């Protein structure tokens, strides 16, 4: 008997740091992660059947950084500020609607 996933969605934030090379950590990734975690808790989305906010190492999409990816949909986002994170939480994590304006183009890699 199969059961539904423990979490409905995961969002992974790249928090990678590199010396002498561009990386998400230099573009506010930790602050975005912290803000997302706070918002998910405030919206009561955290926990079983809800949303898990995770840290990640390099996701190999540095050129679009900072980046985050939401699973199970595998939607990659690039964000600039807390307002972008708020929109991802409200639209995608809470209501299942992709924030098209923040989707990272598939051609952007490292």
pLDDT given at position 3? 57
Give me the domains of the chain, ranges plus CATH numbers.
9-102 (3.40.30.10)
Question: What is the mean pLDDT of each successive set of 10 residues along the chain, which is 110 residues long?
Answer: 78 90 87 97 96 95 90 95 97 97 88
pTM of the model: 0.91
Q: Locate tokens 């423990």: which residue?
A: 6
Give phi and psi for 93, each to the nearest 5: -70, -35
**How far, in Å, CA of 94 to CA of 91, rounded?**
6
Give phi and psi for 34, each to the nearest 5: -60, -45
């Amino acid at each position: 008997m199969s059961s539904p996933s423990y979490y409905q969605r995961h969002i992974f934030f790249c928090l990678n740091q590199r010396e002498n090379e561009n990386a998400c950590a230099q573009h506010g990734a930790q602050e975005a992660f912290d803000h997302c975690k706070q918002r998910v808790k405030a919206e009561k989305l955290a926990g079983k059947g809800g949303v898990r906010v995770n840290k990640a190492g390099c996701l190999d999409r540095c050129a679009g950084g900072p980046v985050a990816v939401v699973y199970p949909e595998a939607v990659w986002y690039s964000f600039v500020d807390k307002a972008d994170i708020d929109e991802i939480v409200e639209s995608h994590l809470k209501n299942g609607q992709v924030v098209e304006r923040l989707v990272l183009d598939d051609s952007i890699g490292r």
